[in-house]
Structures are given as C-alpha cells and as structure tokens.
Copies of this chain bind each other. A is one copy, B any other.
Amino acid sequence: MKLKVITSNPGKVIEYQKAFAKFDVCVEHCCVPYDEIQTSELEEVVKKGMSELRAKGLRNFIIDDSGLFIHVLRGFPGVYSAYCQKTIGNDGILSLMKCVDDRSSTFKCCIGCDIDNKTIIVTGKCDGHILYKETGNNGFGYDPIFTFDGKRSFAEMSIDEKNVVSHRGNAVKLLMSELTSLGLINTNN
C-alpha cells in the first residue's frame, strides 16, 4: 500500500514516514496544489480539500491543517494561523494578549486520509497557554509563545519531546489507531 502525503512541507512527510514505519505502508511526498477555503473549522478545510483532490483523480492520500485557537480571542487566529503568523506574527499575538489574564489556548491539527475508498478524519489537540514573551529557539510559528505544561515553550523542547504531546503528534496517533482498528493497515511482521 502506498499513501501520498500532499503538502509543500517536506518536514511533514518525514513525520508521517516515521509514524507509518512499522506498518505495511509506503509513504511518499506529493505536491498537488489544492484550495483551502475560508471557514472557522479546520475539519471543513480538510473535507473540501479532500473533495477537490478526489475530483482530480487522487486516491490514497493524506492532507492536514493546523491552527492555534486562543479562547479569549474567540478562536483567533485559528484556521488563519499561517496568514496571521506571516502578517502580525508573535509580536501581534502578544500585543492582543497584553493585560489579558485568561491565556488558555488550544493547538489543533486535523488530518484527512483517503484510503481504500474510505475517508478517515481525525483531530488532535494540545491544550496550553500563551506566554508573556517569546522563549526558545526550536520549532517554528507560534511555538515560542505557547506552553503546554506551564514550564517550557514548545520552542524549548526537542522535536521528539514535542511530538509526544503536540496536536500533530496526537492527530497522527489517532489516525494510526483508527486505521489499525478498521484493519486498513497492518504491521510489517
């Protein structure tokens, strides 16, 4: 079985290759552009993206979308996290959260998988808080201003440490669990 990871980010492909390593699945990178729609739900973005890719004839593929949802800001930047990171950046988020006590927020990652003419959609979460300043040099995007344990930012953790607790790590775990329980993938041995 081959699964195409459809993304412009090679880092994502490596992560899926690691997750599928012990299964009878070969993960390969595939760059096919698809539209992401404006909506407040990651799952809607993923569902529409999957429809478009299927209409283009693609089968057996994975796409995903992630975002940071800050509760006191009614979910902002949410589905538009990438755009907000490019425009107002972490400084912008810290300005919006100045003098705000409720700093609770949730990172979410939604994965859509088309496999054997079935659709699996899972959403992984990581609850945490927005810090008062940027800390740490690892990771990317909002990692320096997000902490899940109240001690370290995501940018102060190694990739392996982060994967254990992160929204993306949790989404991948949910996907693997769903695929194995439905008998859609099997271990190599």
Contacts and interface: CB of A to CB of B under 8 A. Distances in A.
Given A74-B86, A76-B83, A78-B87, 18 more contacts: A35-B35, A35-B37, A35-B38, A35-B48, A37-B37, A38-B80, A38-B83, A40-B83, A73-B88, A73-B92, A74-B87, A76-B87, A80-B80, A80-B83, A88-B96, A92-B96, A95-B96, A95-B98
Contacts of A95: 95-96, 98
B98 A73 contact: no
A72 to B, nearest CB: 10
A88 B92 CA distance: 12
Interface in A29-53: 35-38, 40, 45, 48
